Structure 1
Amino acid sequence: MRNNLFSPSQPINHSVSERVSLSASTRLEKLFRNKRKGSVTVEAAATVPLFFLAVVTLLYLLEMMAVHTAVRSSLQYAGKQTAKDTCITQMLMPSKVERDVVYAIGETRMERSIIAGGSSGMDCSASRMSVRTGIGTLNAEYQVKIPVPLFGIRPVKCRETMKIKAWSGYEKEGLSDMGNDTVYVTENGLVYHKDYHCSYLDLSIRMTHMGTVSDLRNESGGRYYPCEHCMKGNAGTIYITNFGDRYHSSLSCSGLKRTIYAIPVSEAAGKGACSKCGR
């Protein structure tokens, strides 16, 4: 009789214990699942800001390169204007150099750029020219703002320097024969030039994009090929001249520079006459 009374209670206790164990395992699974979700959320929260910081840094470096190129090109324009003006005034005015630089870049563009102070942030007060030799140095100083002001970092100071020569020309002393006529030669050139402003001597440098160089032609109708000195890889921005047949990745490349010497034609023995100005 006792066995019949207590025997039904045994399976009942067993089912209750199974429910308790199932409930506990379900809670543990939910707890581990929530922990995994939380760890993924923390990793995403740490990775996304670092990604955006890397993108901002890359864009900032590209903008710095664009500003550097623009200031360099504008200083070349200011140098030509100064060399022309000093023929009359016999002096260099830094304020005029600053105005020419701002004009070449564009006042509106400078106000929207990362140059601290915009158009008023360009300082050319250190520009000088020798009255005796006519050789001058143009100096453009400016500061570049940091896009995200962290840890009190100050603007980065930048400076561009360029040498110029006043267009003072030369004087002929009386009448001279052909052997004393002055001609112009370059350091490694094979011909001499009678005109100092010959297009082969006075390079007209243009800036363009690498993707368009295959469609461009020089004044002679020829294609442009990579420079052997400065084109070591792919470049986004390149520089070409109207009469050259090479494109360059740097304005400081020797292929974009001309060291010109004025000599008597009698000393140009072995050199041929330029096909454009030597006839």
Structure 2
Amino acid sequence: MLSRGVEAGMTVEASIVLPLFLFFFLNLGCAIEMIRLHGNLQLALWQIGSRMSVYGYALDSGEVPENNDGWWRDLVGTAVSATYVKGQVISSAGADYLNGSPLTNGAAGLQLWESEIFGPNDEIDIVVTYSVSPWSSLIRFSPFRMANRYYAHIWNGYRLSGEGEGGEVTQIVYVTENGSVYHMSTDCTHLLLSVREVPSDLIDYIRNQGGGRYQPCSRCASGSPPSTVYITSQGDRYHHNRGCSGLRRTVTSVTIEQAQQAGLGPCSRCGG
């Protein structure tokens, strides 16, 4: 009798725990699918939004972009309506997948009422809203709203850094990290370093472009020199390492007003 009582007790415990176990995993599986649905819809939005950003300029210019895969005709023919975008999202994500997902009403449940496509500022703002609900009534939570968004500007050009608000374009010049002058052209010989390799035992006899001798670089020329070292015609240092930062120029473009305010004068070589 004792043995039978124990067996009956274990059966009762299992009948209580098993439904709770199944209930937990049903909820967990549904939550995972909702996260997966959100990620797949975001990927679909990125795919259509990025392509619309590339070809959107054609709506204003009338130019047909090369290799457009028929998108130009589709965009113009449908006036880029929300219905067209919704169809592209469904096609990208897959109608069968959406209809089998936690998406309420399947693919038909996607709404784009809050979207603004090719607005007055040439912006693409696609907002997809939808409701998600559990697969089964055993999963005890109510449907709730979710949303995905893609926001971008169409690729129709950009304002140069030297363009003022009134449309006036200021002069752009080029400066180096520790330079004392500004340059009118990136082709200036001061900016284009010509590095050459020379025997280290001849370095005391070689002169730079100004007639000066080469001294060891404080960054890389410590210790005994290798068989060859690196120099430039405009520099006054020799380098043990070809990758030394002293052999590289960090060139930045600024307006001429910014360069003058920093106390930089014009370069004597490039006509500044």
TM over 0.5: no
TM-score by length of 1: 0.36
With CA pairs under 8 Å and 6+ residues apart, which has the higher RCO, 1 or 2? 2
Q: Which has the larger Rg? A: 1
Indicate the structure with greater helix content: 1
TM-score by length of 2: 0.37
